[in-house]
Amino acid sequence: MKKTKIITTDDILLTLCQSVSGVLTSATSSNVSYSAMVQKISKTSLKPDFGCFVLFDGGFSGLVIINFTSKAALEIYTNYMRSMGMPEEELAILHTSDEVADVLGELMNQLVGHFTNQIRKTLQTHITQNQPKMLSLNKQVILSVDTNLDRPQARRVTFSTEQGNIFYLELAMDKTEFIQLEEFEVAEDESPDAILEQARQKQTPAEKDKDNVTNINPDDLLDELGI
């Protein structure tokens, strides 16, 4: 009898972690790794110094948050711009600069896009993402998924940059299982390098369409959330 293969919420989280690590490593030409230990949390939140979030919906719904320290945000931004050939004197030096928000937002768009593509191929279901949103923070903001989850689960994973700076990924989604009934072929993976190259051919960060990524004012976000 064929053994039934079951994909759980934590397997989906692992796919997300691999997308984050793979895309950021390729984009920055430096190693970005994640912890082998995952933390169960009761709620997701945006935290200082810099928070990015994106909602996805479709076969299952969820919320992805990445909270960067100022050092981690600047390191990722700087390494990415250097790999794009940006002169040192033109690089932003503050994590609150619009250029940093633009780059991190674009990278989050790419890594979540990579994640949704992997889900489509490996789980044979479809999920879509909204525009990533990001803001610099000096206080914690609690965020929840704007949908009815029967059995909500939340996880936090620690990531490290090549220089040892830390940032955190948080995922909230419904507890779910995908059960493989029949064998099927999984399409060949599209490498993070290929995804990044396609994005670079379309536009540079300086020319990036502001409609693709939303950099929002903290006060505007708090108003939207009713805080």
194-227 pLDDT tens trace: 655 666 666 555 554 544 555 666 666 556 554 5
- Amino acid at the residue 44: T
Highest CATH level, class, for 6-179: alpha beta
Note the pLDDT of residue 66.
Answer: 95
Note the pLDDT of residue 190.
Answer: 58
Residue-by-residue pLDDT tens, the chain, 227 positions: 456 788 999 999 999 999 999 999 999 999 999 999 999 998 899 998 889 999 888 888 889 999 999 999 999 999 999 999 999 888 988 888 889 989 998 999 999 999 999 999 989 899 998 888 888 888 888 776 555 567 789 999 999 999 999 999 999 998 889 988 877 676 666 555 565 566 666 655 555 454 455 566 666 655 655 45
Query: What would the DSSP string read from start to end of 155-211?
Result: EEEEEE-TTS-EEEEEEEEE--EEEE-S--PPPPPPPHHHHHHHHHHH--GGG--TT
**Cβ-contact 167, 24 below 8 angstroms:** no
CA angle 52, 121, 156 (to 5 degrees): 35
Q: How far apart are CA 48 and CA 96, in angstroms?
A: 11
- Residue 4: helix, strand or coil by DSSP? coil
Match 């110094």 to its residue by tokens. Answer: 49
Confidence (pTM): 0.79
Structure tokens at 2: 């064929």
CA angle 218, 222, 225 (to 5 degrees): 140
What is the C-alpha R_g of the chain?
18
Note the pLDDT of residue 28.
Answer: 95
Structure tokens at 224: 């939207």
Q: How far apart are CA 22 and CA 54, in angstroms?
A: 18
Note the pLDDT of residue 180.
Answer: 84
Extract long-range pairs of 130-133: CB within 8 Å, 24+ residues apart. Answer: 130/54, 130/55, 130/56, 131/54, 131/211, 131/212, 131/213, 131/214, 132/52, 132/53, 132/54, 132/105, 132/108, 132/213, 132/214, 133/52, 133/53, 133/54, 133/105, 133/214, 133/215, 133/216, 133/221
- CA-nearest of 150, 140, 156 to 37 is 156
